[in-house]
Structure 1
């Protein structure tokens, strides 16, 4: 996998993605956790087709600034770009925009994993 891979996703801010609904605040504006989820989804899906069968990625680090509020009903666009590949570590530049401009930006780190063993290890925690 090489740097430069880009991803784009869009959504319309809804009650379900609002700060009030997800518990991160009391207002009907796009929630920071919802923005981060969109950023993670965009990054993850952008590289999925470059992985080998049975592999996936998991988010391990995020450093984001949420710089502007977005009201219900407004479209948000997330753009990601893979800027660093270090063996299994992938680092993305992430940005989110509403129809008036930049609302969030930063970096997001993901690791390439073997999906089945990873899931089994996580599930084994229930047996302890």
Structure 2
């Protein structure tokens, strides 16, 4: 695996369709790109940034989001999220995230993820 370093980037994109609108996701009443869909896209971009850097059996989980959804996006437009690794503090990773449609920036913020051992993490479910 490659050595994790700040500045690495990940990207994810999605077309705005009925299923990822605020109206259908119940995060609002209008047929525009939903905030929960934007959050998921930002998390996906962060995961994509790490895909070549994790060891076998490792994964990451999102632990914090501080984002703003600042503009609407219409049906049939495309949204691209870009995540840039800004800080590495042991196993805690901080990303700067931004989402854009074909016309403008629609969201931005900070996303934190934590590197985990997948098996140990899943074993925590058995202890409850």
TM-score w.r.t. the length of structure 1 is 0.94
| CA distance in structure 2 between the partners assigned to 1:82 and 1:4 by the alignment | 5
| CA distance in structure 2 between the partners assigned to 1:104 and 1:93 by the alignment | 11
1:65 alignment counterpart: 68
| Structural RMSD (CA) | 0.9
Question: Higher helix share goes to which structure?
Answer: 1
| SS, match of residue 56 in structure 2 | coil
| SS, match of residue 50 in structure 1 | coil
Unaligned runs of 5+ in 2: none
Q: 1:22 pairs with 20, 25, 32, which one?
A: 25
Q: Which runs of 4+ in 1 moved over 2 A?
A: 122-125
Contact 1:7 1:45 in 2 (8 A): yes
Contact 1:63 1:106 in 2 (8 A): yes
How far did residue 46 of structure 1 move? 1.3
Unaligned runs of 5+ in 1: none
Would the alpha carbon gap of residues 89 and 65 (structure 1) be closer, same or farther in structure 2, given more than 3 Å must change?
A: same
| SS, match of residue 99 in structure 1 | coil
| 1:54 and 2:94 are equivalent in the alignment | no
Contact 1:48 1:56 in 2 (8 A): no
| CA distance in structure 1 between the partners assigned to 2:58 and 2:24 by the alignment | 33
Q: Deviations over 1:13-46 (max 9, x none)?
A: 0111000111101110000000000000110121
Contact 2:12 2:48 in 1 (8 A): no
